Chains A and B, each alone.
Chain A
Amino acid sequence: DGGITQSPKYLFRKEGQNVTLSCEQNLNHDAMYWYRQDPGQGLRLIYYSQIVNDFQKGDIAEGYSVSREKKESFPLTVTSAQKNPTAFYLCASSADRGSYEQYFGPGTRLTVT
């Protein structure tokens, strides 16, 4: 089955540690996205990538980093510089930059204490 996988579903870290969230897709999509979701708010774009080895900052990129070394993979690192990292993180992909439909993974709930 084609789709997007995110692992793990729940992640716990101590403050000051970097943590990497995984996102893999087998849809052969060019574009991939990372969103952050907080209670009572809509999704906010962290980073997006339109092709391999290229990515752009979204609205809230500070304290996050990404890489896109392979078409199917777009890992997100939450660094210790992110002031409030506890949130639900969603990864998405679309066929290409202009495609209107984004497909979402099941998300990762990150808790930092």
Chain B
Amino acid sequence: AQTVTQSQPEMSVQEAETVTLSCTYDTSESDYYLFWYKQPPSRQMILVIRQEAYKQQNATENRFSVNFQKAAKSFSLKISDSQLGDAAMYFCAYRSAFWDSNYQLIWGAGTKLIIKP
């Protein structure tokens, strides 16, 4: 069974600086998707970025980028120029690409990101 681990329960960063959130996963599959979701205090879950395992190029969305290391099963999220609105819980999630997996999302426990003004 697949598992997702976020080893940092909480991280803090000064506003305008860069922070990296860690995520590792365990799977025997070769084709899958990885996601970072953000959950602000409103508790609305918002997709931040996704990565397809078959793509070697790291995904980027504005100030958010990932470092996808397939062999190491690592999927970290880098937030550049941190803003107060980035303060939230960040969840890493895994989804198999195979049809018989039921496409279930497997979630990490989350990292709370604090932005210091």
Q: Report the stretch among B12-20, B79-87, B101-109 that lies at the interface.
A: B101-109
CB-defined contacts of A98 to chain B, threshold 8 Å: 99, 103
CB-defined contacts of B33 to chain A, threshold 8 Å: 100
A41 to B42 alpha-carbon distance, docked (Å): 17
Contact A48 B99, beta carbon cutoff 8 Å = no
Interface size bracket, A side: 20 to 34
Q: Using CB atoms, name the residue of chain B closest to A101.
A: B47
CB-defined contacts of B108 to chain A, threshold 8 Å: 42
Contact B50 A100, beta carbon cutoff 8 Å = yes
Please tell me if B91 contacts chain A, counting CB pairs below 8 Å. Answer: yes
Given contacts A40-B109, A45-B104, A101-B50, contact A88 B91 (CB under 8 A): no
Please tell me if B4 contacts chain A, counting CB pairs below 8 Å. Answer: yes
Please tell me if A43 contacts chain B, counting CB pairs below 8 Å. Answer: yes
Contact mask for chain A residues 61-95; partner B; CB cutoff 8 A; 1 contact, 0 none: 00000000000000000000000000010101000
Cβ contacts A to B, 18 pairs, < 8 Å: A40-B9, A40-B110, A42-B91, A42-B93, A42-B109, A42-B110, A43-B45, A43-B105, A43-B107, A48-B102, A97-B102, A98-B99, A100-B35, A100-B50, A101-B47, A104-B46, A105-B44, A106-B43
- Residue ranges of B at the interface with A (Cβ–Cβ < 8 Å): 4, 9, 33, 35, 42-47, 50, 91, 93, 95, 99, 102-110
